Amino acid sequence: FIFLFSLQNNSIKTSKYNFFTFLPLNLFEQFQRIANAYFLFLLILQLIPQISSLAWFTTVVPLVLVLAVSGVKDAIDDFNRHKSDKHVNNRPVQVLINGMLKDEKWMNVQVGDIIKLENNNFVTADLLLLSSSEPHSLTYIETAELDGETNLKVKQALTVTAELGEDLQKLTEFNGEVKCEAPNNKLDKFTGTLTLQGEKYALDNEKMLLRGCTIRNTEWCFGLVIYAGPDTKLMQNSGKTTFKRTSIDRLMNVLVLVIFAFLALMCLILAIGNGIWEYDKGCYFQVYLPWAEGVNSASYSGFLMFWSYVIILNTVVPISLYVSVEIIRLGNSFYIDWDRKMYYPLNDTPAQARTTTLNEELGQIKYIFSDKTGTLTQNIMCFNKCSINGKSYGDVYDTSGQRIEINENTEKVDFSYNQLADPKFAFYDHSLVEAVKLSDVPTHRFFRLLSLCHTVMPEEKKEGNLVYQAQSPDEGALVTAARNFGFVFRARTPETITVVEMGETKIYKLLAILDFNNVRKRMSVIVRSPEGDLTLYCKGADTILYELLHSSCDSLKEETTEHLNEFAGEGLRTLVVAYKNLDEDYFQDWIKRHHEASTALEGREDKLSELYEEIEKDLMLLGATAIEDKLQDGVPQTIETLAKANIKIWVLTGDKQETAMNIGYSCNLLNDDMEDVFIIEGSTSDDVLNELRNARKKMKPDSFLDSDEINIQFEKSSKKPNVIPDEQANGVYGLVITGHSLAYALEGNLELELVRTACMCKVVICCRVTPLQKAQVVELVKKYKKAVTLAIGDGANDVSMIKTAHIGVGISGQEGMQAVLSSDFSFAQFRYLQRLLLVHGRWSYIRMCKFLKYFFYKNFAFTLVHFWYGFFSGFSAQTVYDEWFITLYNLVYTSLPVLGMSLFDQDVDDRWSMLFPQLYVPGQQNLYFNKMVFVKCMLQGIYSSLILFFIPYGAMYNTMRSDGKAIADYQSFALMAQTCLLIVVSVQIGLDTSYWTVVNQFFIWGSLSVYFAITFTMYSDGMYLIFTASFPFVGTARNTLSQPNVWLAIFLSITLCVLPVVGFRFLKAQLKPTPSDKVLLKIKEAKKRPPPPSPKRRLRRTSTRRSGYAFSHQHGFGALIMSGRNMRPKSPFATTGTFSPNSDKYKHKGL
């Protein structure tokens, strides 16, 4: 085989490290964090004796601890990635080696290998289909992981390779040359040639099986590996794995730089002060306070003091900040893993935080990008209701004639009288079965139509066990309904359809299939019954079929329209069904013309279309069907709740426009109360631009004025603006855009227009989009909007958008595990998203913000006391506190109370968080921690440091003990200052805590107790005698803390530090409450008078819009059936079956 690109093996790799590269790569990554590099620099400074004013261990211990904690966490994350890679790479597959099939691992498969796949196998790599078990080497595949569609697609091998069959000898000797395009991400295109025995054959996408597909209805097939591993179209679409960081992380990097600048300024002031003091005063102290060795001038002394103060004041950026942040994130991740309310018992799936570094960003989401199939919907179609001859069926009524809501306790219709019924089918209206049993003519004709007018393929491996392979799930649901009501579609050949009607087997001659296409939006079949009657049966979109009805149907049409409106109001997908008895002579003439048109070389499609129009006239209306595209539980309620939290939802789906819009309506994304739903479907760049502009003009006419803020930005700057501010539309709008139009809209000159228009809409639905386009849409919003994005999906086609968004959520659903493996968070049902965001996300964000505010405050208050002390100590880099206090302050004395608050605090519990989604909005606006909040913390820290220095200083100055001895010494002052500081920061955390637990109480009181215990121990005589150099503060604690005036001064310090904070918070809540304050006040009042539990209601929409045909249908399937190329040999059971629902045995059973 010859390939025009480098050959790959089939292994995939999503992990970052291996055993040897972990340490260097991980340390390199960690030192890219500014703070870590800064602490390494500090450590080097502390090893220089001339400038070191603190022991080296004060920096080494915390630094090693931080690097170790982060390293272990990264190692665990990467180990899990290795595990998932191993699971995929070690899947078994049969490979043809030396004329024999051998079991091989996926990762060992190489380009050029021939492999065998069996029914329900995942496709291993991108394969050229060689042969299969089906007639004409057809192979049926499901592409749900690639495009989200569950309908079957057909692939066909070349005739020349189909002859190889499953003859291993022939397959081994197969010697061809394949030339094809380089690996790319286009899922629907492939170009190549196969040269075999001197003949050249064209290869296209119809002959390719792509990795990520699943083989269906095909016992076996053989394929030649064309692309493997990273070269496969699935992996080419999966996007790059990027290192995700939260907005708070990025803000912290900026703040750390600001703090460094502030630190440098303080050190410069103190260094200049030292130079002046040494020059002016220091010379008088040379006798008993000589300069250090090597220092020969006041300016050099000032230079050294600059670095000494850098070491002393480094605690404004404490390294323990990063350890604490990691611990808080890890703790909040465990809450998600442990949440029983996000556990799905049906398939034993708990929620999982797969990345532990993004929790607080869950509390700031502004845009959600969701897949449709398998994410919003269950991918299951159910025959729910129908209208036959003006009578509606499907609702259940009680004895008083009131309609009752159907639930799991409602009695189902018993179909046990029908041996061929599908046991999984559920229907609740018994009157429909009665009508069937009473041989009601319209009802029989209705179900006969459903059993004949379709392109479904039946499979009956053992008698009575029928499996339908439908090309669209809608068709499968309709044929299954007919089957259960006694009209069982049993077998088909190119010329016949076998139906078991009420126990009697009938064979209808299939004379023509008038195939579906997107313009016709209907399909018809022409059949001859065993009695010789010629009938056309038609089903399709109501808007189309109503135009084709006979005038005698007008009154029935009105009744049916009422039912259609009712069905559409419940979000059901509706179809209208009709029939027509044909005249024999007319039909013979028509079929002759049909044959001529179908063999015409020019204008074939147009000629056939005209003939179809001609015969599909004057139809007789039978009724309508209503199918429910089953939403996942709680989807409409979840969407409604998220909308109240000011979150915008965009649906990005591979499905067709009509299907996507249907789901939009049924899950309350779109509704008739909207001012307008714009549909963008232009086929050129100019068309798309005009459609987008017209939509924006309607939503906000002012946005075209020169005075518009964004237009001014454009005019001022030659470059495009980086961030577009939010614009408000003059009402509620929706936008639907097709993949073809989206391709133009994502081009450079149109992307800004798309962002402006789409972001004004409440809901955006993008249909027929490729996996890569999903990622591009997410990237576009990230680029132009200062907002946090979340992508949620369940298939491999969602991987690229999950990787691109700030947060990626995978649903462990029907479509494999690709999405989950690439996600940051995963769970089993879409409805858990509201709990993830409104409860866990919001709590994580609030906790992280409170933590950062408190942490910066306590460290500014702690460190700046040194700054003020410098002015009273000759700028000599003398520390205020004992060295042991400096080491233990962040690691022991203040670490646990703040961790307690950051892990357990909640302003309201989970129930209120869900009831009042408005509480989520401050997170989106980043109100709880930003640059302004940081400046306030800094100012509060500076104010507290002034109090904490000058009150103890004033209280100690020239003070005598009660026994007449002086206590105005440095050590007593240091002890008093540090005691004041610790009690003040403990009171402050008490004020910041909203939710008190035993743990919080224990941590706060415990930390204070530990401080006094350690202080009295360290300053005891015993410790001094054992470690004389290390513990010089002998006796200070008992001497100082036994004085009443010291405690009075401590109380004064606490009052002066805390009183302004309490006063400011009280006045702000009273005079200028935030929206959150107002909601919290409502909750407080509601808690006093608990409201009665609200009854569970089912969300319904009212709509006059009706859904269309089974839109996942593919054009051309009818022709395939009529050609017979997809037919198996006749089923031995097709013409048997003798049960009758009217026989004595089944007559009254179950009814």
* Percent with pLDDT over 70 in the chain: 89
Name which residue leads in pLDDT, 292 or 610: 610
Q: Supply the pLDDT for residue 1100.
A: 47
How far, in Å, CA of 115 to CA of 132, rounded? 12
Q: Which of 640, 646, 644, 647 is nearest to 669 (CA)?
A: 640
Residue 1000 banded pLDDT, cuts 50, 70, 90 = very high
Going by C-alpha positions, the residue among 863, 864, 893 that lies closest to residue 1015 is 893
Q: Which amino acid is at 28?
A: F
Residue 1095 pLDDT more than 60?
Answer: no
- Distance from C-alpha of 645 to C-alpha of 236, rounded to nearest angstrom: 36
Q: Minimal CA–CA distance to 132: which of 110, 154, 103, 106?
A: 154
- Would you tell me the crossing angle of helices 34-46 and 320-338 to the nearest 10 degrees? 140
Q: Is the pLDDT of residue 1147 over 50?
A: no
- What is the mean predicted confidence (pLDDT) over 399-415? 82
**pLDDT above 90 (res 123):** yes
61: which 2 tokens? 């211990």
* Overall average pLDDT of the 505-532 stretch: 89
- What is the arithmetic mean of pLDDT over 976-986? 94
Confidence of residue 944 (pLDDT cuts 50, 70, 90): very high
Q: 976 in the Ramachandran plot: left (φ > 0), alpha (ψ -120 to 50) or beta? A: alpha
Give the span between the Cα atoms of 372 and 794, in whole angstroms. Answer: 9
Mean predicted confidence (pLDDT) in 101-128: 92
In terms of average pLDDT, the best of 371-375, 741-745, 1144-1148 is 741-745
Question: How much of the chain exceeds pLDDT 90, in percent?
Answer: 37
Model confidence at 1140: pLDDT above 50 = no
Contact assessment for residue 150 and residue 379, using Cβ atoms and an 8 Å cutoff: yes
Q: How far apart are CA 295 and CA 280, in angstroms?
A: 16
Report the candidate in 120, 127, 133 with the shortest Cα–Cα distance to residue 165.
133
Instruction: Give CA separation, 506 vs 38, 498, 1122, in Å.
Output: 85, 6, 19
User: In sequence order, what are the beta bridge partners of 651?
Assistant: 370, 765
For residues 807-824, give the mean pLDDT.
78
Q: What is the pLDDT of residues 282-305, one digit of tens each?
A: 777 777 777 777 677 778 888 888
d(CA 719, CA 886) in angstroms, rounded, equals 50
Q: Which long-range contacts (CB under 8 A, 24 or more apart) does 587-596 make?
A: 587/511, 587/526, 587/534, 590/614, 590/615, 591/511, 591/512, 594/512
Per the rule left: phi > 0, alpha: psi between -120 and 50, beta: everything else, 212 is left
What digits encode the pLDDT tens for the residues 172-216? Answer: 988 889 999 888 877 778 989 999 888 889 898 889 999 988 998
Tokens of residue 1069, six digits? 């809540």
**The 3-state secondary structure of 144-201, one letter per residue:** HHHHCCCCEEEEECCHHHHCCCCCHHHHHHCCEEEEECCCCCCCCCCCEEEEECCEEE
Question: Average pLDDT in the 577-600 region?
Answer: 90
Pick the closest to residue 540 from 485, 630, 490, 474 (CA basis): 474
Distance CA 987, CA 980 (A): 11
CA pseudo-torsion sign 45, 47, 51, 56: positive
Residues 420-461 pLDDT 10s: 888 888 898 889 999 998 988 999 999 999 999 998 888 877
Which tokens belong to 910?
């989970």
673 tagged catalytic: no
1017: left (phi over 0), alpha (psi -120 to 50) or beta: alpha
Q: What per-residue confidence (pLDDT) applies to 142?
A: 83
Please list the residues that pair with 403 across neighbouring strands. Answer: 397
Using an 8 Å Cβ cutoff, are 333 and 356 in contact?
Answer: yes
Give the pLDDT score at 1149.
Answer: 37
Rounded to whole angstroms, the Cα distance separating 515 from 798 reads 32
Largest CA distance in the chain: 132
SS3 letters across 546-613: HHHECHHHHHHHHHHHHHHHHHHHCCCEEEEEEEEECCHHHHHHHHHHHHHHHCCCCCHHHHHHHHHH
CB-CB contact of 538 with 619 (8 Å): yes
pLDDT tens across 520-573, in order?
Answer: 888 999 999 999 999 999 999 888 888 899 989 889 999 999 998 888 777 788
Q: Residues with Cβ < 8 Å from 63, sequence gap 6 or more?
A: 36, 39, 40, 43, 319
586: Cβ contacts below 8 Å, ≥ 6 apart: none
pLDDT higher than threshold 60 for residue 977: yes
Q: Is the pLDDT of residue 94 over 70?
A: yes
DSSP assigned state of 1094: P
* Mean pLDDT for the stretch of residues 509-517: 88
Q: What is the mean pLDDT of residues 754-771?
A: 89
Residue 54: what pLDDT? Answer: 65
Whole-number average pLDDT of the chain: 84
- CA 741-743-744 angle, 5° bins: 70
Single out the residue of 780, 779, 775, 837 nearest to residue 365, CA to CA: 837
pLDDT given for residue 1135 in this prediction: 45
Residue 1139 — very low, low, confident or very high, per pLDDT cuts 50/70/90? Answer: very low
pLDDT bucket at 1148, cuts 50 / 70 / 90: very low
Nearest to 81 by CA among 241, 194, 234, 208: 241
DSSP assigned state of 121: P
- Please compute Rg for the chain using Cα positions: 38
Given this model, what pLDDT does residue 973 score? 87
pLDDT at 318 over 80: no
pLDDT digits (tens, 9 = 90+) for 71-83: 887 888 788 878 8
pLDDT band at 1085 (very low <50, low <70, confident <90, very high): confident
C-alpha distances (whole Å) from 706 to each of 713, 728, 753, 785 are 10, 17, 16, 22
- Residues 1005 and 4: their CA atoms lie apart, in Å, by 72
Q: Which two tokens stand for residue 839?
A: 């409860």
Question: Other C-beta atoms within 10 Å of 1013: how many?
Answer: 10
In this prediction, residue 1118 has a pLDDT band, given cuts at 50, 70 and 90, of confident
Q: Beta strand 126-132 with 220-227: parallel, antiparallel or unpaired?
A: antiparallel
CB distance 797 to 149 below 8 Å = no
For the segment 907-931, the average pLDDT, to the nearest whole number, is 90
**371, 474, 515, 824: which one is catalytic?**
371
Identify which has the larger pLDDT, 248 or 1102.
248
Q: What distances in angstroms separate CA 177 from CA 181, 196, 224, one per listed residue?
A: 14, 7, 11
Average pLDDT value for residue range 590-619:
88
Q: Three-state DSSP class for 98?
A: coil
Q: CA–CA distance from 5 to each of 181, 189, 636 (Å)?
A: 8, 18, 48
Examine the pLDDT at 1099 and tell me if it is beyond 50: no
Distance CA 830, CA 817 (A): 16
601 or 169, which is more confident?
169
Predicted pLDDT at 901: 93
- pLDDT surpasses 90 at 752: no
**Neighbour-count burial of 302, counting CB atoms closer than 10 A to its CB (0-12 exposed, 13-18 middle, 19+ buried):** buried
Residues 648-678 have pLDDT tens digits of: 999 998 777 777 888 888 888 888 888 899 9
Residue 1136: pLDDT band (50, 70, 90) is: very low
Order of strands, sheet of 487-492, starting from the edge strand that comes earlier in the sequence: 391-393, 377-388, 620-631, 573-581, 534-540, 522-528, 504-514, 496-501, 487-492
| 562 in Cβ contact with 626 (< 8 Å) | no
